[in-house]
């Protein structure tokens, strides 16, 4: 799962949070490659409002860690320009929800310049952005929207859930010759002011390593039901799987990790094994990832499923601010467990 570049004997790892692992990945690449720079709102002294750049300003200085004016169109556009010229910018969009302000720069330019140039111009840029809800931040600050980015051609999309993947996918994203959208859920970061998830802390090798983009991970193997999921919902699904194991239900949890490219083979293999499928997706239900997974099964072999699949998604409503309302819309462990029991019934 984790591809270590040095020989395995040398590997030392320690427990890090997702946020620290991400920062470590960025810092190691910045040491290795002077063309890597970071820009965005509050990425300097603040260290990113979700701690995605903590300590980088102190280490690399304001020449490489740039606090930008509040001008998303401008700094995503100039990140694209800088990437074309040979830099490897990591541009942070503070909340994915604000993509609307700058979407033209993202999907018409960052993602299409390579195509428009007949393949001559590369845009090796990382657009990293915080996604997800669960902490009462309302309809314009809580969305995941990964389906939207994955729908549009020209950019890769990665969504790590574990500390080791957070680092390895960050390094892969930086080294990739394509624009990569790196989406981190605020709830997986291990931030002291968020609801704690035990899975936000995990073993991370000290050395530099890559996790391949486009490869899903089986984070728990099981024989009864496949749970295809990503991001914070992986954490919830693992907890639910532990609980249900006590009742004798063995869940296989597939962490997609990448949406573009999507690892169809791992999904199909797992469903072929279990015959049952629950998709847990913190994005809106309709026209998104959950439908895509269903389409893969339908296209390849609908007979793999021995009962109808279930999806646990956010309904097609804006995400409410109020905690009680918000919890009712998100894919909570309660909802995930209910869906799994349903397909097992």
Partner 1 sequence: MTDGMEMFPLIQRLDEEGNLIGDLGVLSLADLKETYATMRFLRTFDERAWNLQRQGVIGTYAPFKGQEAAQMGAVAALEDTDWLVPTYRDWAASYLRGVPLEHGLFFSKGHPSLGDIPAGKRVLPAQVVIAAQTLHGVGVAWATKLRHEKVATVVTFGDGATSQGDFHEAMNFASVLAVPLIFFCENNQWAISVPLARQMHAETIAQRSIAYGIEGFRVDGNDYVAVANLMHELSERVRNGEGPFLVEALTYRLGAHTTADDPGKYRAIEEEDLWIRRDPLVRLERWLRAQGQLSDEDLAAIDADSERKVEEIIAGFREALDISPLVLFDSVYATLPSTLASQRAQFEARVKEVGA
Ligand X SMILES: Cc1ncc(C[n+]2csc(CCOP(=O)(O)OP(=O)(O)O)c2C)c(N)n1
Is 55 an interacting residue with respect to partner 1 (CB under 8 A)?
Answer: no
Tokens encoding 170: 């960050």
Q: Please, which of residues 101-130 interact with ligand X by CB under 6 A? A: 101
Give the residue with the Cβ less far from partner 1, 49 or 218. 49
Give the residue with the Cβ less far from ligand X, 103 or 245. 103
Residue 89's closest CA among 107, 65, 105? 65
Is 322 an interacting residue with respect to partner 1 (CB under 8 A)?
Answer: yes
Is 239 an interacting residue with respect to partner 1 (CB under 8 A)?
Answer: no
Which residue has its beta carbon closest to ligand X? 98
Instruction: Please confirm, yes or no, whether 141 is among the known catalytic residues.
Output: yes
Report what 265 binds from ligand X, partner 1, none; CB cut-off 5-8 Å by kind. none
Provide the mask over 67-106, with x wherever binding to ligand X is found by CB under 6 A and - wherever it is not: ---x-x---------------------x---x--x-----
The kind and range of the H/E element at 146 are helix 146-151
The Cα-based distances of 145 to 112, 135, 214, 234, 235 in angstroms read 20, 17, 18, 17, 19
User: Residue 237's CB: how many other CB atoms inside 10 A?
Assistant: 30
Q: d(Cα 128, Cα 108) in Å, to the nearest integer?
A: 18
Among 137, 203, 206, 239, binds partner 1 (CB under 8 A): 137
Residue span binding partner 1 (CB under 8 A) among the ranges 3-11, 24-32, 46-54, 177-185: 46-54
Is 272 an interacting residue with respect to ligand X (CB under 6 A)?
Answer: no
The Cα-based distances of 117 to 110, 120, 124, 238, 296 in angstroms read 12, 5, 14, 44, 32
SS3 of residue 288 by DSSP: coil
Give the residue with the Cβ less far from ligand X, 72 or 326. 72
Catalytic residue among 141, 199, 235, 236: 141
Q: Please, which of residues 16-75 interact with ligand X by CB under 6 A? A: 41, 70, 72
Report what 344 binds from partner 1, ligand X, none; CB cut-off 5-8 Å by kind. none
As measured in angstroms, the least distance from the Cβ of 133 to partner 1 is 11
The Cα-based distances of 153 to 79, 84, 181, 231 in angstroms read 19, 18, 12, 22
Q: d(Cα 33, Cα 154) in Å, to the nearest integer?
A: 24
Give the residue with the Cβ less far from partner 1, 197 or 329. 329
Residues 6+ apart with CB under 8 A from 236: 280, 331, 332, 333, 336
Residue span binding partner 1 (CB under 8 A) among the ranges 15-23, 24-32, 136-144, 266-274: 136-144
Please state the φ and ψ torsions of residue 251, each to the nearest 5 degrees.
-95, 140
Is 321 an interacting residue with respect to ligand X (CB under 6 A)?
Answer: no
C-alpha radius of gyration, the chain, whole number: 19
* Residues identified as active-site: 141
> What is the contact surface with ligand X in residues (CB under 6 A)?
41, 70, 72, 94, 98, 101
């Amino acid at each position: 799962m984790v591809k270590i570049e040095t020989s395995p004997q040398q590997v030392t790892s320690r427990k890090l949070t997702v946020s620290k692992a991400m920062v470590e990945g960025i810092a190691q690449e910045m040491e290795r490659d002077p063309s890597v720079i970071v820009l965005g709102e509050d990425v300097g002294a603040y260290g990113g409002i979700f701690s995605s750049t903590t300590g980088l300003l102190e280490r690399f200085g304001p020449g490489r860690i740039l606090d930008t004016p509040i001008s998303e169109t401008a700094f995503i556009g100039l990140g694209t320009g800088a990437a074309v010229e040979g830099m490897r910018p990591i541009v942070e969009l503070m909340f994915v929800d604000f993509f609307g302000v700058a979407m033209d720069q993202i999907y018409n330019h960052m993602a299409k310049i390579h195509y428009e140039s007949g393949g001559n111009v590369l845009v090796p840029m990382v657009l990293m952005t915080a996604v997800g809800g669960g902490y009462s931040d309302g309809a314009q600050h809580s969305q995941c929207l990964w389906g939207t980015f994955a729908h549009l051609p020209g950019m890769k999309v990665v969504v790590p859930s574990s500390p080791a993947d957070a680092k390895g996918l960050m390094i892969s994203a930086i080294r990739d010759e394509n624009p990569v959208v790196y989406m981190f859920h605020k709830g997986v970061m291990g931030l002291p002011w968020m609801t704690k998830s035990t899975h936000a802390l995990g073993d991370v090798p000290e050395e530099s390593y890559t996790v391949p983009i486009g490869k899903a991970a089986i984070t728990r193997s099981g024989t009864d039901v496949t749970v295809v999921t990503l991001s914070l919902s992986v954490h919830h699904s693992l907890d639910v799987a532990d609980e249900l194991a006590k009742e004798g239900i063995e869940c296989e949890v597939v962490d997609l990790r990448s949406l573009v490219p999507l690892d169809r083979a791992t999904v199909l293999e797992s469903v072929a094994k279990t015959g049952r499928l629950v998709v847990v997706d913190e994005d809106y239900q309709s026209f998104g990832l959950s439908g895509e997974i269903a389409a893969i099964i339908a296209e390849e072999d609908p007979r793999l499923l021995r009962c109808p699949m279930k999806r646990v998604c956010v309904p097609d409503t804006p995400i409410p601010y109020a905690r009680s309302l918000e919890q009712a819309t998100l894919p909570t462990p309660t909802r995930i467990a209910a869906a799994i029991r349903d397909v097992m019934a």
